[in-house]
Chain A
Amino acid sequence: MSNTALKTGHNEEMELLLPWYATGKLTDSEKHQVEAWLDGNPEAQSHLEIVREEMALTIESNETLGVAGAGALHRLMAAIEAEGDARPQADPQQGGFMERIAGFLGGFSPRVYATALAACLLLLIAQAGIIGALLTSTPDATFRTATGGGPATVESGIIALVAFQDAASASDIGVLMSDNEAEIIGGPAEGGLYRVRFPQTADPDAVMNQLRAASDVVKFVALSQ
């Protein structure tokens, strides 16, 4: 494969690493190198935004694939039983603590599971407290994680995936949500993406423009549906 297309005059290795920087999967050393490259480099930063947009779209694309049918596990266990080598199963009610926790967590997709862990960590910082309040501010809102499979309820309104600036305060985010009659309905996913719902009557282009204009608060935004 020719590398001609990579000869863009930029730091090629950093450009190649951007997708993994966005997903948080670089080593500390690589991460610091990419951050040094991004620092004061608007063009590189715009490329990172493109990567984040691709990531959001890919996640959305996968989430539309749905999940396997409810009978899949039953069929699997029947096949395993037919193998004839399984140890007798313990009564789930008698299982250990970890077993019960695994069973509980097993009800979630891996992405929801990861998101839930991230949400727990978020509770440790002040910003999350306010965001949590925003999450519960609308009693009839349908909660759905930023990327995980949630209730099958169709979300009304315009949904966007938003990443906030690290330096944005919770009150800044609250004001932005309030000014746009928006609410955070899920997240954060890996990469700090939140699902934000805007009124059904809002103009999607206007919403995008307003959020992009609030660049001191919003790091990235992409329409979800």
Chain B
Amino acid sequence: MTSDGQDRELLARIARKDAAAVQALFARHQTRIFRFILRFVRNEAIAEELCNEVFLEVWRKAGSYRGQSAAATWLMSIARNKALSLLRKRADEELDDDYAEALADDSDTPDVDVAKQDKAEIMRRCIDRLSAQHKEIIDLVYYHEMSVSEVSETLGIPVNTVKTRMFYARKQLSELFKSAGIDRGWP
């Protein structure tokens, strides 16, 4: 059985209120969902709480899963909605310390960066500095290994927009690399 087939079977069992199945699904997907949410909220405790809320929602709504998208894509969509909902609530609130610290890091000049970081670390920091929209699609494609159609379903955008958004995310990344003194010769 494929990985998605196993997920679907677990969801069917969860719909029948089989608690062991939700444990298995949690074990299979918790890490990547936690990391996906953490990219949005930048706070481990909040990410962990939202991650649990995702699985609680799965527990409540597994019966409504119709199998039109891969189970993992469905989970990621729930996670994304949870994270965005929290960010919308937080928009008018004061920045928490972690977030403020992260923004402060962004104020380093490229010269300072080069002096204190090795090249790979600089490049990773450039990824962290992408706009939220671009970082999200880079993560979904490269880390979560979603296909064009899966990204389209998760983000709710047309497949052609997925392709061009990914292109511009990569372009923004190259520009960040350049500003940090790393010219890759593309685009």
With beta carbons under 8 angstroms apart, the residue of B39, B118, B186 that contacts A204 is: B118
Interface hub of B6, B31, B34, B146 (most chain A Cβ within 10 A):
B31
Assembled-state Cα–Cα distance A105/B145 (Å):
19
> Smallest CB–CB gap between A77 and chain B, Å?
7
Is there contact, CB below 8 Å, between B48 and A23? no
Determine if B38 is an interface residue (Cβ-Cβ < 8 Å): yes
Is there contact, CB below 8 Å, between B163 and A223? no
Residues of B within 8 A of A149 (CB): 31
Residues of A within 8 A of B141 (CB): 19-20, 23, 25
Q: Do A1 and B168 contact each other (CB < 8 Å), given the known contacts A59-B142, A102-B6?
A: yes
**Binary flags per residue of A1-30, CB closer than 8 Å to B gives 1, else 0:** 101011010000001110110111110000
Determine if A41 is an interface residue (Cβ-Cβ < 8 Å): no
Determine if B61 is an interface residue (Cβ-Cβ < 8 Å): no
**Binary flags per residue of A135-168, CB closer than 8 Å to B gives 1, else 0:** 0000000000000010000000000000000000
Is there contact, CB below 8 Å, between B166 and A109? no
Q: Do A16 and B147 contact each other (CB < 8 Å), given the known contacts A46-B185, A61-B127, A106-B24?
A: no
Is there contact, CB below 8 Å, between B16 and A66? no
**Binary flags per residue of B129-149, CB closer than 8 Å to A gives 1, else 0:** 000000000110111011110
Is there contact, CB below 8 Å, between B28 and A105? yes
With beta carbons under 8 angstroms apart, the residue of A54, A66, A99 that contacts B170 is: A54
Interface of B, helix, strand, loop or mixed by DSSP: helix
Residues of B within 8 A of A95 (CB): 20
Residues of A within 8 A of B52 (CB): 72, 75-76, 79
Residues of B within 8 A of A75 (CB): 52
Looking at A81-89, A120-128, A170-178, A209-217, the stretch in contact with chain B turns out to be A81-89
Residues of B within 8 A of A73 (CB): 23, 26-27, 30
Is there contact, CB below 8 Å, between A87 and B173? no
Classify chain A's interface size.
35 or more
Is there contact, CB below 8 Å, between B142 and A76? no
With beta carbons under 8 angstroms apart, the residue of B120, B142, B143 that contacts A222 is: B120
A selection of 23 A-B contacts at a CB cut-off of 8 Å is: A6-B167, A8-B187, A19-B166, A25-B147, A54-B138, A54-B173, A62-B139, A65-B34, A65-B39, A67-B30, A68-B31, A69-B48, A80-B22, A83-B56, A89-B19, A89-B20, A90-B20, A102-B10, A106-B26, A109-B32, A110-B28, A113-B28, A204-B118
What are the nearest 9 A-B pairs in CB distance? A106-B27, A109-B31, A58-B142, A102-B24, A16-B163, A25-B147, A86-B19, A223-B120, A68-B34
| A interface residue numbers (CB < 8 A to B) | 1, 3, 5-6, 8, 15-17, 19-20, 22-26, 46-47, 50-51, 53-55, 57-62, 64-69, 72-73, 75-77, 79-81, 83, 85-87, 89-90, 92, 95, 99, 102-103, 105-107, 109-111, 113-114, 149, 190, 204, 222-225
